[in-house]
A and B are shown apart, each in its own frame.
Chain A
Amino acid sequence: MDGMIERRTLLATGAAALVVPLAPASAQQAPPPVITAAAANSPNGGVGQVTAFLRIAPDGRVTFASPVTEMGQGTHTSHAMIVADELDVPLAQVTVVAGQPEPALRLQPVNEMYSGASFGIRFWHDRIRRACAQARGALVQAAAERLGVAADTLSTAEGRVTHAASNRSVPYAELVEAASRLPLAETPRIKPAAERRVTGRAAPRMDIPAKTNGSAIYGHDIRLPNMAYAVARLSPVFGAELDGFDRASISAIRGIIDVVALKNGVAVVAENSWAAMEGAKRITIRFKPTPEQNLDSAELSRRLRAGLEGGPATRPRNDGDVDAALSGAARVVEATYEVPFLAHAPMETENATVHIQGDKVEVWASTQHQDWCARDAARVAGVPRENVVIHTPMTGGGFGRRLHTEVVEQATTVAKAINRPVKLIWTREDEFAQSYWRPAFAAKLRAAVDAEGKVTGLAIRAAGQSVMGDYRPALFAGPLRGNDPFALQSIADTRRYDFGAFRAEWHRVEAAPKVWLWRSVGGSQMCFFLESFLDEVAAATRKDPYALRRELLAKDARALRVLDTAAQRGGWQSAPPAGRHRGIAFVDLYDSLVAQVAEVSVTGNEVRVHKVSVVIDCGDVVNPDSVEAQMQGSVIWGLSSMALEGVTLKDGAAEQRNFDTYPILRIGSAPAVDVTIIRSGERTGGVGEPGVPPVAPAVCNAIFAATGRRVRSLPLASQGLNV
């Protein structure tokens, strides 16, 4: 024990209160979390076993086990802010650690601990507040009993309960034991916005100092006694299995320990990373043939385009009679767009460290999905699921990539084979080849316009692979019955624009490459299609692109405010500086609304994005500085992908294997980003992803304004345009 007093009842109940009402009965009846504080104060901060949700130590320090991974969005700091605010303790007294998968930390209804869908605040904010409000209520009640006064004569601040009338106060730490025996209020009093003193104001992130001096420990940095280093060599063709390898081909490399066969490759194990990496690079290896080993980008594009013309489709939206609107239209505007596969390319490549001791397994993984890590490690090691401990160190970028846990399966395979703790890392080359990409997509859009230039109907047919089909195949084939909510995300699942009649349909394309959630998921391509197309409609009807969007959003005051603010910040109504042109775009994603105005100049084939004005309405705001950082990062992410990025296929495999062929935007091309946050007080929305989708259409619309050239395929580089 580390001297920290366990407050089992309070904490267990507080944690249980985090179980979401949507939970299936089995999840709600799950036993309360077991509190084992033993390894809570591990020196690596994030690398520590913690199964408690919220603990108050004798010195008043509060430790909160976060249900999400800190991937650089500052979510752990935001969680600390919510705790400090609702519990009335100083922010500096709150420590946030990465939690273990356990009932209270799981997202419902899937009942898994993972970080995705911009859920860090939008899902957890209210739940953390409620648990803290319950804890505060119990502390106040305990103080009332101790001081012999009524609870409603007490106030809380700075980690103390105070009775002003008698000038007495008690620190929380002295009340925890008594409070832990009290029942928790079912409907605790949660602070209204006006009483919040910590959230809503910029606070410095807790993880930043360690990220400036080399002391932050990421998955790549885990070092255990007697640990071996392994580097994978995987098939570049999706689905191709290992056929064989020649161990002798690398026997000359000093420090090689073993070569372990994996499903789709090998792991070369050595006494240091470099020997393992050299071995992985040089080993003679053969893969089995697959049916799609000749797939190339031209064939994939043919499948996408064919899917626009016919074949089965799901149709999540069919409002009014689009066909009648189109056939009766004074004019029909039509355009077809296409976008490529995109890689996540987080700076830290996939990795996991696994230590098997008897029937216990410890895993260190920079992961977004702790439950799947535990599942995979348990299965491979052949131990019960509850014998696996998951440590989540700092994570060098997630972006959806780390919802995938294949590397844990591989590392466990190696650890079992060599009977030593092992750290397995992927090379950048395998990271690109096996990234599980953002799917390539095509879409055809048609708009019906009447004689007055008013849009009376809009139809979109999109074709692409199914993210949900690869991410959660059972859910996709079962309850979803082949509908993929990601396929038409941000246009079929929102009702902001009023097009009159509206139809949205998606044809599933099949291909061997795996596709996955990539920052903003379906919004990344759908917003490009729709917002570029609206610009085409504006041009065809000789309307100002901003004015057209105002018309279509006329009934939606919240959306109009976001759009208008962006137009204002971006100077839409005034002439741009000489040689510059503007484009505008809007998205509704994960409960947040974002509009952007891009200011661009084009000289020959050189495109320069000078400035992007971003406006976000994410409802409530916890740490405005983190919101700003996410908007800046989202703009650069979106610009990088639309300008430079794309995975092309040849012989069934990615042609891009490193940053020389898959360039990422560099500092010299990064625009100024002006961020405005609208605090509408609406339901809390996501922040990590909604800033991404509008970038591509805003920039392309500005290029059109500058040149009259409409970009319908990305990236810009593939169209001869350099950023």
Chain B
Amino acid sequence: MIDLMVNGQARRVDADPDMPLLWALRDMLGLTGTKYGCGIAQCGACTVHVDGAPTRSCQTRIGDLAGRRITTIEGLHPEGQHPLQQAWVAAQVPQCGFCQSGQIMSAAALLAENRRPSDADIDAAMAGNICRCGTYPRIRAAIHDAAAKA
């Protein structure tokens, strides 16, 4: 049994400590907003926060997470109204949407430590998140928009 603190709740999963957090979230806790895209920390679709830091859950063993705070897209804001989520809707960012949980989690970590990111800051913070649909121009605009309103 592994104890995890996910979105502010204590959760217990019966799984191998080597299981990546991604699969514990998706299969055992039913939090399917976090996505599998590559499994090798190349695409960012699986990004969550661990103690506030953007983390690729496909490369994070659940056995290493005792006492750590895990936040997924479902827990970013209780009503899904984080400033970035609002900006994402206002800018009509997602296309297929499959990458967008990871994009938003990476952007949220950026804004948490940098309230007015420059384009270069955005490029650096978001470099690990692929969008195959090519929503990058709108992602950039939405991050600036959320930052301006914060």
Q: Which residues of A contact B (CB under 8 A)?
A: 71-74, 204-205, 207-218, 220-221, 223, 229, 254-255, 272-275, 277, 345-349, 394-399, 425, 427-428, 625, 629, 632-637, 640, 658-660, 664-668, 670, 672-673
CB under 8 Å from chain A, chain B span 1-36: 15-16, 19-20, 22-23, 26-28, 30-36
Q: Of A71, A216, A636, which contacts B134 at CB under 8 A?
A: A636
Q: Of B38, B73, B95, B97, which contacts A658 at CB under 8 A?
A: B38
B37 touches A347 (CB 8 A): yes
CA distance A395 to B101 in the complex (A): 14
B39 touches A272 (CB 8 A): no
B98 touches A214 (CB 8 A): no
Residues of A within 8 A of B67 (CB): none
A211 touches B30 (CB 8 A): no
A72 touches B95 (CB 8 A): yes
Residues of A within 8 A of B72 (CB): 214
CA distance A223 to B27 in the complex (A): 8
Q: Of B92, B97, B126, B132, which contacts A667 at CB under 8 A?
A: B126
A347 touches B132 (CB 8 A): yes
B23 touches A632 (CB 8 A): no
Residues of B within 8 A of A254 (CB): 16
Interchain nearest-CB distance for B41 vs A (Å): 9
Interchain nearest-CB distance for B127 vs A (Å): 5
Interchain nearest-CB distance for A302 vs B (Å): 32
Q: What 6 pairs across the A-B complex have the smallest Cβ distances? A: A214-B33, A636-B134, A396-B98, A211-B97, A72-B96, A72-B95
Q: Of A217, A273, A396, A660, which contacts B27 at CB under 8 A?
A: A273
Q: Of A210, A272, A659, which contacts B38 at CB under 8 A?
A: A659
Residues of A within 8 A of B37 (CB): 347-349, 428, 659
Q: A223-B32, A272-B28, A658-B40 are in contact. Are A670 and B95 (CB under 8 A)?
A: no
Residues of B within 8 A of A668 (CB): 123-124, 127
- Closest A residue to B74 by beta carbon equals A214
- Closest A residue to B72 by beta carbon equals A214
Main secondary structure of the interface of B (DSSP, over half): loop
Q: Of A214, A349, A633, which contacts B36 at CB under 8 A?
A: A349
CA distance A154 to B101 in the complex (A): 49
Q: Is B59 among interface residues, defined by CB-CB distance under 8 A?
A: no
A216 touches B40 (CB 8 A): no
CB under 8 Å from chain A, chain B span 117-150: 122-124, 126-127, 129-140
Q: Of A204, A394, A632, A672, which contacts B135 at CB under 8 A?
A: A632
A427 touches B39 (CB 8 A): yes
CA distance A246 to B36 in the complex (A): 27
A397 touches B134 (CB 8 A): no
Residues of B within 8 A of A217 (CB): 32
CA distance A624 to B123 in the complex (A): 28
- Closest A residue to B20 by beta carbon equals A274
Main secondary structure of the interface of A (DSSP, over half): loop
CB under 8 Å from chain A, chain B span 56-101: 72-74, 76, 80, 85, 88-89, 92-101
Beyond known contacts A215-B74, A274-B19: 14 more, CB 8 A cutoff: A72-B94, A208-B89, A208-B92, A215-B33, A255-B16, A272-B28, A274-B23, A347-B131, A348-B37, A396-B97, A629-B95, A658-B38, A667-B131, A670-B137
B139 touches A667 (CB 8 A): yes
Interchain nearest-CB distance for A554 vs B (Å): 34
A632 touches B127 (CB 8 A): no
- Closest A residue to B100 by beta carbon equals A211
A428 touches B134 (CB 8 A): no
B96 touches A667 (CB 8 A): no
12 contacts between A and B (CB under 8 A): A209-B80, A212-B80, A215-B74, A218-B98, A274-B22, A346-B96, A347-B99, A348-B37, A632-B135, A666-B136, A668-B123, A670-B137
A625 touches B40 (CB 8 A): no
Residues of B within 8 A of A214 (CB): 31-34, 72-74, 101
A213 touches B98 (CB 8 A): no
Q: Of A218, A221, A274, A666, which contacts B127 at CB under 8 A?
A: A666
CA distance A633 to B139 in the complex (A): 12
CA distance A220 to B101 in the complex (A): 14
- Give the one of B22, B31, B134 with max A CB within 10 A: B134
CA distance A350 to B30 in the complex (A): 20
A658 touches B134 (CB 8 A): no
Q: Is B104 among interface residues, defined by CB-CB distance under 8 A?
A: yes
Q: A214-B34, A272-B15 are in contact. Are A209 and B92 (CB under 8 A)?
A: no
- Closest B residue to A229 by beta carbon equals B27
